[in-house]
């Protein structure tokens, strides 16, 4: 087995790797690091959780150890699709470059421009950014990309899903033609292949696994569930989720629960908290500081359940996630692979369970076609019986109870003490009301009811 010491990395980088507890590279690292050190373009294709981040971080630090950054002109650029993935790359850079004097800047949304401008003005060796924020700085005249020596595009297929491909093409056009490009993706869609053919020069292709395959260390299962009624399906689906969690018992030390829509992320997280589960949401609409606190709590173990949209599906490295629950079947089959790839990392065992309702059966079939295997079916957990229906169609337990009202008997004290109301109808006998002791109003007619209607009611009531 190959050791990191055999890959011609900088001795200071090797020291940091050893201190981090690593000895042997993963297949993608073993295949990508040698050509990257030689200055060649690299096209890396590997499933999530295989160590792609170190595949470009380690050779980048080794090559940048020689040289010095200039103001507003970074020497290398790493593009990431999400803030969380960009922050994780920055953490990896800090881990492996601690014995090498290199500077970095992290350009992501939700952070002050002023702080980021200050870092860029001093000059940075490594710029780690999301495409939108990078172009914002460039258009404000705060950044030049003409000094880029190494450019990395991480999770390129996710960039495609999020609509970043036009931005990526523009950023490529702003960098020197002589740059080295390292391009990493889990899948190779036709659009991704077109970009690599356009912007990479004779790349070394490193493919360590069949495209879009799930790790063999992950146990998978799916519950095919149909609600008792259409209007109760969402609630019963949340009941199924809690039953699945409870069924795993203590083996479920922590879990990520994926939903397709941001609104469902909030609803599921709120429902879990209401039933006593330690859960918090994370999605793109939340403030960056809140997203950071939530992720830190999940990584540190103070938060057990992370309810997430696909913003958290790619590249987040939380090594000890025991379970992944797909509350919704993902609309894109490739997203299933990336979601369940949050568990079973670094050779550990993991478990991924999914809930499929009738409208998601086509998406489930597409997933099974992609991973080339049938996901085992799990029996639907026993759910609490729904409340009985009333004649009006409302659930018995949801119908407000009405207190019985005793009818006042004629000549009762309560009736005698009640002041007489003035009639709004015609007056007779010298202006006196026709009925002074009238207690009931006609409902729904308002105060401007015509007098002839009141007369007709009174005459019928008198007879």
Nearest Cα to Cα of residue 378 among 416, 413, 417, 351: 351
Between the alpha carbon of residue 45 and those of residues 90, 107, 115, 328, 356, the distances in Å are 21, 26, 35, 27, 29
pLDDT for the residue numbered 302? 93
Burial degree of 234 (CB within 10 A; 0-12, 13-18, 19+): middle
Nearest Cα to Cα of residue 339 among 312, 307, 373: 312
Nearest Cα to Cα of residue 93 among 47, 62, 72: 62
Tokens, residue 375: 């996901």
Tokens, residue 379: 């029996």
E runs forming strands in 293-424: 305-308, 323-326, 350-356, 377-378
CA atoms of 51 and 25, how far apart (whole Å): 9
pLDDT for the residue numbered 459? 53
What letter would DSSP give residue 354?
E
Alpha helices by DSSP H, 226-360: 233-248, 262-274, 288-300, 333-340
H/E stretch holding 78: strand 76-79
CA atoms of 18 and 272, how far apart (whole Å): 41
- pTM value? 0.65
Residue 273 CB contacts under 8 Å (≥ 6 apart), including other chains: 279
H/E stretch holding 282: strand 279-282
pLDDT for the residue numbered 266? 93
Tokens 């992320």 -> residue: 265
pLDDT for the residue numbered 289? 81
Please, are residues 111 and 139 in contact by the beta-carbon 8 Å criterion? Answer: no
Please, are residues 395 and 388 in contact by the beta-carbon 8 Å criterion? Answer: yes
CA atoms of 311 and 320, how far apart (whole Å): 19
Please, are residues 325 and 244 in contact by the beta-carbon 8 Å criterion? Answer: yes
Please, are residues 26 and 5 in contact by the beta-carbon 8 Å criterion? Answer: no
3-state secondary structure of 350: strand
pLDDT for the residue numbered 387? 59
Q: What are the backbone angles phi and psi of residue 417, rounded to the nearest 5°?
A: -80, -20
Walking along the chain (463 residues) 10 residues at a time, the average pLDDT comes out as: 87 93 90 95 82 92 84 90 88 92 89 87 92 93 92 89 88 94 87 91 85 77 91 93 94 94 93 95 82 88 91 66 94 84 80 95 93 91 66 50 49 46 48 50 56 57 52
Please, are residues 282 and 295 in contact by the beta-carbon 8 Å criterion? Answer: yes
CB atoms within 10 A of CB 151: 23
E runs forming strands in 377-438: 377-378, 427-428, 432-433
Tokens 């869609």 -> residue: 189
- Domains of the chain, earliest start first: 4-207 (3.40.50.300), 218-378 (3.40.50.300), 413-462 (no CATH)
DSSP assignments along 179-225, one per residue? -EEEEEESS--HHHHHHHHHH-SSPEEEE-S-TT---TTEEEEEEE-
Report the first-to-last Cα separation within the chain, whole angstroms. 105
pLDDT for the residue numbered 425? 47
């Amino acid at each position: 087995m190959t050791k990191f010491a055999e890959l011609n990395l900088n001795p200071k980088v090797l020291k940091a790797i050893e201190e981090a507890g690593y000895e042997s590279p993963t297949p993608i690292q073993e295949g990508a690091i040698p050509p990257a050190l030689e200055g060649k373009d690299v096209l890396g294709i590997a499933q999530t959780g295989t160590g792609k981040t170190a595949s470009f971080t380690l050779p980048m630090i080794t090559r940048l150890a020689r040289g010095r950054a200039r103001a507003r002109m970074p020497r290398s650029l790493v593009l990431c699709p999400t803030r969380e993935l960009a922050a994780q790359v920055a953490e990896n850079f800090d881990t492996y470059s601690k014995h090498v004097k290199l500077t970095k800047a992290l350009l992501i949304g939700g952070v002050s421009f002023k702080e980021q401008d200050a870092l860029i003005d001093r000059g940075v060796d490594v710029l780690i950014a999301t495409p939108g924020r990078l172009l914002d700085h460039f258009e404000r005249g705060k950044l030049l990309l003409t000094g880029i020596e190494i450019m990395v595009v991480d999770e390129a297929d996710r960039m495609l899903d999020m609509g970043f491909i036009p931005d990526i093409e523009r950023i490529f056009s702003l960098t020197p033609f002589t740059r080295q490009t390292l391009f990493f993706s889990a899948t190779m869609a036709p659009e991704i292949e077109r970009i690599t053919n356009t912007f990479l020069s004779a790349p070394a292709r490193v493919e360590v696994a069949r495209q879009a395959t799930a790790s063999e260390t992950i146990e998978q299962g799916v519950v095919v569930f149909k609600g008792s009624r259409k209007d109760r399906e969402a609630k019963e689906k949340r009941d199924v989720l809690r039953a699945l969690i409870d069924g795993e018992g203590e083996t479920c030390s922590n879990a990520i629960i994926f939903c397709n829509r941001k609104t469902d992320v909030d609803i599921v997280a709120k429902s879990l908290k209401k039933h006593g589960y330690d859960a918090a949401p994370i999605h793109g609409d939340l403030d960056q500081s809140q997203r950071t606190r939530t992720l830190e709590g999940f990584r540190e173990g103070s938060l057990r359940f992370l309810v997430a949209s696909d913003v958290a599906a790619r590249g987040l490295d939380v090594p000890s996630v025991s379970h992944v629950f797909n509350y919704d079947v993902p609309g894109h089959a490739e997203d299933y692979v990336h979601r369940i790839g949050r568990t079973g990392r670094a050779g550990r065992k993991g478990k991924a369970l999914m809930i499929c309702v009738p409208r998601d059966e086509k998406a489930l079939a597409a997933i099974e076609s992609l991973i080339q295997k049938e996901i085992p079916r799990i029996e639907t957990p026993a759910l609490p019986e729904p409340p009985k229906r009333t004649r009006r169609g409302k659930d018995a337990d949801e119908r407000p109870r009405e207190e019985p009202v005793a009818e006042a008997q004629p000549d009762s004290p309560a009736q005698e003490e009640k002041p007489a109301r003035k009639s709004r109808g015609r007056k007779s006998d010298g202006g006196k009301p026709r009925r002074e002791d009238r207690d009931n109003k006609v409902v729904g007619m308002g105060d401007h009811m015509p007098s002839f209607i009141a007369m007709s009611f009174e005459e019928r009531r008198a007879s």
